Structure 1
């Protein structure tokens, strides 16, 4: 898998910004078939940082129900919690 197709987008919420400040972790939505090694390589190459660990969380697709009837499906997702090295940092909004 190519490095550019592994990382889909960063997840920016209150929880993830707190993790970035406290635990040096950055969260990304990643391709569902990407493994930890591919995620590590693509983050190191894209942002020029050293990655200590990668933890992955998967959520499968779910069925949307409306008044007892199936109205469709919500897509599943996969996200990766990337722990950076001791002196490393990724800034998404530089100069804003």
Structure 2
């Protein structure tokens, strides 16, 4: 699966901003068939950062979300600034 097909887009909801500031995590909407290993490779390749942990869930709309925790040397706020979300 292509890297840009795996990770569709980051969420910028109030909860996503709160999680980003408190836990150094970003929330991405990802392909429903992608597993954690594919998501990790895609995020590390796109943003050139170290991923520590990934939690996934499928919301009630049927979208798969990945909560991606970054290492301490790569703050999530820097990544969102590069994306233009903040």
TM-score w.r.t. structure 1 length? 0.77
**Runs of 4+ with >6 A deviation:** none
Other-structure match for 1:47? 47
Q: Is 1:82 aligned to residue 73 of structure 2?
A: no
Which runs of 5 or more residues in structure 1 are unaligned?
61-74
Alignment match, 1:93: 84
Structure 2 counterparts to residues 50-65 of structure 1, below 5 A: 50-59=50-59
Structure 2: gaps spanning 5 or more residues: none
**What SS does the aligned partner of 2:19 have?**
helix
**TM-score, length basis structure 2:** 0.86
Q: Which has the higher helix share?
A: 2
Counting matched residue pairs gives 81
Distance 2:5 2:84 in 1: 22
Tell me the SS of whatever aligns to 1:26. Answer: strand
